[in-house]
Structure 1
Amino acid sequence: MWAATWGQVFAGLGLAPPRAALRLSTRFYRPAGKRDTIFALSSGHGKCGVAVIRASGPASGAALQRLTGQQELPPPRAVTLRRIRDPSSAETLDKGLVVWFPGPRSFTGEDCAELQVHGGPAVVSGVLQALGRLPGLRPADPGEFTKRAFQNGKLDLTEVEGLGDLIHAETEAQRRQALRQMEGELGQLYQRWSEELTKALAHVEAFIDFSEDDNLEEDVLAGVDTAVQTLQREVTGHLQDGRRGERLRGGVHVVIAGPTNAGKSSLLNLLSRRPVAIVSPVAGTTRDVVESALNIGGYPVVLSDTAGLRQSQDAVEQEGMSRARDRLQRADVVLAVLPAVDFAPESGRLADALRAVLPPGAPAPRAPCILVLNKADLLEEGQRGALLGACREGALPPACLLSCRSGEGIDQLLNLLAVQLEQMCGNPLAGSPSLTQARHRLHLTSCLDSLGRYHGYKALDLVLAAEELRLARRHLGKITGRVSAEEILDIIFRDFCVGK
């Protein structure tokens, strides 16, 4: 095993390394040590028709031969029926399908073997114990197969995160977004930006090192400025996406708010289709925030029932109302529940009642609101039309009449909510891929800050300006897991033919 730096390489050739090479000095060769062979149950635990057991590493081929009792490995990537035995006792454990994936054409990039056996706990346990007794094999740590796929260049970090999101996806929209990310669209976008920054940095480094000796064109830096400004616009637009991807990944926070006894807990139970919250005619029953995860129109929703808002001297109820207001501050959508019978036939007080539910600063800025007029079953037919008309004339939020007792109006409420969710989350298959992780946003914001500082430093010190480009590029590399300095030198020599 050996390692060298760019400075050592130039010295070995009898050349003085350029300052760019010294600044970018990095270890460029380090052969990987021999890895353990890992194994694990890759399908779900519990009784099932078929269980998939996977092994990855240099000893996986020998392990497959030992378990099947065959001298020859099966044809690559072909499903073969084999009797699976315990190598220590020759006892038959099961009869199942085996697949051999020689590296690098496998999920991890290493030699891999898969056993598809019957999913009974005894069968699975017997095969896993047999694998554990073979030399050079050990049980895999959580996520270790995917970690090896990343280390072997099969996936970048955004694709790894997309795979994790796909496994945990519970709604159709989540599945679409995760699949798109796992297929590499988000990583390709960041990689393109990283390549543009690499080229810009290489040109600045070349200008610093060779402009006097090789008479590089003066418009090189002008081209860099244009590229950086274009990248700033693209990154800014990507960040200003309304958190669509993050909302879709983690769920849209919908908060039910309103006065006591308006039917908030009844609405939570109706939407959840199960008794999540206690419903009582006693005012102030709900003291804490009660949550329920829902799938509405293919979009994930975290629905929160909150304490009724009113004047109270009860310390516990006051704490509940404080938590309700805090949740309103962080809401993505608010369902403001008001008892319809309190405002019909007089409807002029609706706006005042809504302001009492949503004080200044709540919900969060620009968070949409839906006005839910509950207990509509107690209204006369003429009162219903007058109440909805008053909502339209008073420029109030979209409103619907609802009866939590009978379920009347629930479809209209779901339609209004689905429209809001679609506007907030968008179509995960349309347009550019969206941000899905808070760490992406953090690194992109830092990248944008460095690009801004580049313009400020350029007139003062070009070396400091180049360092800001390098920092911006490093932040992009941290998103995908690709952080390297060697390719900058490659572009310097490729684009400018220095030393010809």
Structure 2
Amino acid sequence: MALRGALSAAGRRWAQQRLCCTARGDTIFAVSSGHGRCGVAVIRTSGPGSRGALRSLTGRPELPPPRVLALRRIRDPATAEPLDRGLVVWFPGRLPGLRPAEPGEFTRRAFHRGKLDLTAAEGLGDLIHAETEAQRRQALRQMEGELGRLYQRWSETLTQALAHLEAYIDFSEDDNVEEEVLSQVDAAVRALEQELGAHLQDGRRGELLRGGVRAVIAGPPNVGKSSLLNLLCRRPAAIVSPVAGTTRDVVEVSLNVTGYPVVLSDTAGLRDATDPVEREGVSRARDRLQRADLVLAVLDATAVPAEPAGLGAAVGSLVPPAAPCILVLNKADLLGGDTGALRAACARGPPVPPATLLSCKTGDGIDRLLELLGQQLAQLCGDPLAGSPSLTQSRHSQHLGDCAAALARYGRHRARDLGLAAEQLRLARRHLGRITGHVGAEDVLDIIFRDFCVGK
């Protein structure tokens, strides 16, 4: 038997204490809704003592109908003191032969029964772990099968091309297959190669959205990099000190910025350090810069030239070439009202990246920075609901790259050996099938006999 009740936090604490004392033998209980402060909790009991526990807690000899929620007053069995009101439900007995499901077992069974492919299963996992709205949208789209349908369409194109090519190889001498079949296969392979190449060259949008954009705060010492990190995450995540070189290691936090996931790193000030510990910190900062998806280049607004060429050169000394960047001119509060020249220089565009004046001390300029950050994230991750679904897994990229390589080899073998060319189509199709989990040979035979009716 099992008992489930929806109790307040106070009622849950009491039930934990009382049921712990009365649980004997095979009767067990647990808080099923997790721990922590909350307005409602679910407590579950299981075993032969559940019936008596339900009667004691509700103070009523009759039980509610099986598998029907009932509202009951929860009381202390010893004193009859009312504790709370909650919903109770009981399930008399258990079916034999049942066991708890393994993690992911329901999804695995759905895959084996053909109810979803591997990409949809991966989308379900991403949906469970989604932390931002954009991640949720992308995961839901993949879970609903859009990515799987795209790969399935490509697989069907390859299956048909392979079937036609093999039919030509086997039966062209009997005049059952026209020569123009080869031209159709070539055209289909070229079109698929172009479409697949465009899919691979999407700037890793789906992977960035799934795993988070790696944004690095970089700049010289004592320009306010750690203050900027604390301002963006709204807590003292990094130590702030007027002493230059305080940050020696990488401080990393995860943020949700306008629905996009960001992994933000504060790094050591970039300079020729003499202290060995600081030197290691600078080395780690430069390494993070090389791997960054986005750089927040922080400079002291009181110590930079107020003209575009000078600002562009200052940024270029910090940021790797072609890396997406936002220039943050901190300590704007020290400029007083004399900000016109800097604002004009920031608004000129290249060689100055998108820029804003900011005061981490007062917070002035933070809205503009968040606006620029949101624009950059939208460019990097794209709209998860627009266009074709994006790549989300490195596993997909690897198999699609292998598929593209096989299609390229098809073109090289096509003029010399049709058998080798057919093998490349077979390999390309196999790599697509490994993404979705559907790899078979019967489909090729089906198309051969459907389209050509060989042997009639």
TM-score (norm 1): 0.74
> Which residue identity does 2:344 align to in structure 1?
G
Cα deviation code 1:437-464 (max 9, x no counterpart): 1111111110000011011112222111
Asked if 1:375 corresponds to 2:331, the answer is: yes
The match for 2:235 among 250, 267, 274 is 274
- Mean Cα deviation higher: 392-401 or 169-178: 392-401
Q: Name 1:439's counterpart in structure 2.
A: 395
Aligned counterparts, 1:150-169, within 5 A: 150-169=111-130
The 5 A counterparts of 1:181-196 are 181-196=142-157
Aligned positions of 1:71-470 closer than 5 A: 86=47, 135-343=96-304, 349-358=310-319, 362=320, 366-382=322-338, 384-393=339-348, 395-470=351-426
Paired residue type of 2:106: F
Distance 2:42 2:405 in 1: 49
Report if the CA contact (8 A) 1:163-1:182 is conserved: yes
- CA distance in 1: counterparts of 2:451 and 2:140, whole angstroms: 37
Q: What SS class does the counterpart of residue 99 from structure 2 fall into?
A: strand
Amino acid at match of 1:287: R
Mapped contact 1:255–1:305 kept (Cα < 8 A): yes
Could you tell me which amino acid in structure 2 is paired with residue 162 of structure 1?
G
Show CA shifts across 1:254-274 (max 9, x none): 110000000000000000001
Q: Are the counterparts in 1 of residues 119 and 147 from structure 2 also a CA contact under 8 Å?
A: yes
SS of the aligned residue for 2:295 comes to strand
Aligned-pair distance for 1:138?
2.0
Q: Is the 8 A contact 2:308 2:352 kept in 1?
A: no
Q: Say whether the 8 Å CA contact 1:51–1:117 is kept in structure 2.
A: no
Identity between Structure 1 and Structure 2 (%): 67
* Cα distance, 1:373–1:449 mapped onto 2, change above 3 Å: same
CA–CA separation in structure 1 for the residues paired with 2:391 and 2:377: 17
Cα pair distance change 1:476/1:348, threshold 3 Å: closer
Structure 1: gaps spanning 5 or more residues: 1-40, 54-83, 100-114
Partner of 2:14: none
SS in 2 for 1:291: strand
- The C-alpha deviation readout for 1:21-50, integer Å capped at 9, x for no partner, is xxxxxxxxxxxxxxxxxxxx9x86447747
Instruction: Tell me the equivalent position of 2:79.
Output: none
Normalising by structure 2, we get a TM-score of 0.81
Write the distance in 2 (CA, Å) between the matches of 1:367 and 1:254: 11
Change (3 A) 1:319 1:491: same
Structure 1: which amino acid aligns with 2:453?
C
When the two chains are superposed, the root-mean-square deviation of aligned CA atoms in Å is 3.1
**Cα deviation code 1:394-427 (max 9, x no counterpart):** 7311111101011110000000111111111111
The alignment of Structure 1 onto Structure 2 pairs a total of residues equal to: 401
The letter of the residue matching 2:244 is A
User: C-alpha separation between the residues in 2 aligned to 1:319 and 1:344?
Assistant: 30
Shift of 1:366: 2.9
Partners in 1 of 2:217 and 2:415 — Cα distance?
54
Amino acid at match of 1:152: R
